[in-house]
Amino acid sequence: MMTKTTALLILALLLAACGDEAADETATESMESMSAEDHAHMHGGMGGATDSTGAAIRQTIMLSPEQEQALGVTFATVQRMSLTRSIRTVGQIEVAEPRVVEVTPKIDGYVEVLFADATGESVRQGEPLLTIYSPALVAAQEELLTALRLVDRIEPKAGEAWQNAQTMLEAARRRLEYWDIPADQVRHVEETGEISKALPLAAPASGVVLEKDVIEGQRVMSGDRLYRIADLSEVWVEGDVFEQDLQFVRVGSQAHIEVSAYPGHHLMGRVNFVYPTMDEGSRTTRVRITVRNTDMRLKPGMFATLFFDATIGDDVLAVPLEAVIVTGERDIVFVHHDDGSYMPHEVILGARTHDHVQILSGVLEGQTIVASANFLVDAESQVGGTGGSMAGMDHGDGSPGGEPPAEETEHEGQDHD
């Protein structure tokens, strides 16, 4: 039998849903007319009985077709389907680390002429970046010429002496080579016999000067970083993927990339690295995508938006997302049976899309579940039991399962007498 508390609650919900001011006033008066005992019952009863963990105990309830229509209950079927979802995150254009080189001298000296004199300049492999005057370089060139003259004076038939002269010549050449002196410069010294006061330091790779830490006249030491050069024909796009989405983003996953600087310009790439660590604060893991940049439109530091199309499964059990009641302690769906009963089932959820959620356990394929107005069904399930109060919601008008009004019962008794 329906309690006065439940009747007042449902009346208030139905009247408020009408959006009529008079209805709202009636609902308000109905709520205000409740006794203190009714209020206590409502607040205590809506929470229902609880289990040992403090979670509300839900029970099977009954609803007639009229009641289902009045509450706006709709249904869905537990079914197997193909589930895909789009994962969106933000990223940033980064310099590809393997394409970065640093230019450092291997000798001490002084910068005489600076050819690459500004950050952002493009340089080509082998072209001079600067010239260095170094007393050690001058001495090495003198040794090279001395060894060369010695080889010319000694006949090959001299045997060991000629071999020693050849060894000295090769050693002088290797010394200059180890100092990154270009081979054509070494040949020029050998052919002309002229010692160059300053020798060029060439770019080890083609690219763009990202950093320049040298000026003309500066004294440089062996190991000082003078330039940082990057080849930007290929760049990285790195983004942060949330922990719950990481299972769908792996090496080889295709990514769609949009850059705000170029609306309508779409890039495609694949994840080639997933970082092995997670940021404890944001609960994200960084992923990396390599993208070709031959037109140099992508600039390091630009923001990008990344989209990953993730396939959850081609044949997974799923229900509409709105059919699941998330309580904080557990996830509930109400299964509707042919006899009009509604039974709560605790379910274990898997991955989610924008409108469906994977069911790992709790319901079976083909079962009918409540898809909307389930919060009203859930509220009643915490108040009534099997054949409970909602089943007698219309008892005042003689609907099935209801009882005649008290006055009618009284009159019937008087006629009988």
Its pTM surpasses 0.75 = no
Q: Which two tokens stand for residue 184?
A: 């054509």
Enumerate residues 6+ apart whose C-beta is below 8 A from 77. 366, 367, 368, 369
Tell me the three state secondary structure of residue 160: helix
- The rounded distance, in Å, linking the Cα atoms of 185 and 201 is 11
The whole-number pLDDT of residue 16 equals 47
The whole-number pLDDT of residue 239 equals 95
Average pLDDT over residues 84-88: 86
- The rounded distance, in Å, linking the Cα atoms of 359 and 356 is 10
Burial class (CB in 10 A: 0-12, 13-18, 19+), 252: exposed
Model confidence over 200-221: pLDDT tens digits? Answer: 888 999 999 999 999 999 999 9
Q: Which two tokens stand for residue 332?
A: 């509930």
Sheet harboring 122-123: ordered strands across? 100-103, 227-230, 207-212, 122-123
> How many beta carbons lie within 10 A of that of residue 390, not counting itself?
27
pLDDT, the chain, mean: 80
Q: Which of 44-53, 371-380, 401-410 has the lowest mean pLDDT?
A: 401-410
Give the strand pairing for 227-230 and 122-123.
unpaired
| DSSP of 282-338 | TTEEEEEEEEE-TT----TT-EEEEEEEEEEEEEEEEEEGGG-EE-SS-EEEEEEPT
Model confidence over 180-205: pLDDT tens digits? Answer: 787 888 888 888 988 888 888 889 99
Angle at 226 between CA 220 and CA 231, to 5 degrees: 160
The radius of gyration of the chain's CA atoms, rounded to the nearest angstrom, is 41
- The rounded distance, in Å, linking the Cα atoms of 349 and 145 is 81
Could you tell me which residue, 52 or 114, shows the higher pLDDT?
114
Give the C-alpha distances (Å, rounded to integers) separating 371 from 145, 332, 417: 92, 12, 52
Share of the chain above pLDDT 70, in %: 78
The CATH classification of domain 49-80+314-416, taken from the options 3.40.50.12500, 2.40.420.20, 2.160.20.10, 2.30.110.10? 2.40.420.20
User: What are the residue boundaries of the structural domains of the chain, listed by start?
Assistant: 1-47, 49-80+314-416, 86-96+232-313, 110-230
Tell me the three state secondary structure of residue 20: coil
The CATH classification of domain 86-96+232-313, taken from the options 3.30.70.60, 2.40.30.170, 3.20.20.70, 3.30.70.100? 2.40.30.170
On the question of pLDDT at 41 being above 70, the answer is no
Could you tell me which residue, 215 or 377, shows the higher pLDDT?
215
The whole-number pLDDT of residue 129 equals 94
Average pLDDT over residues 400-404: 39
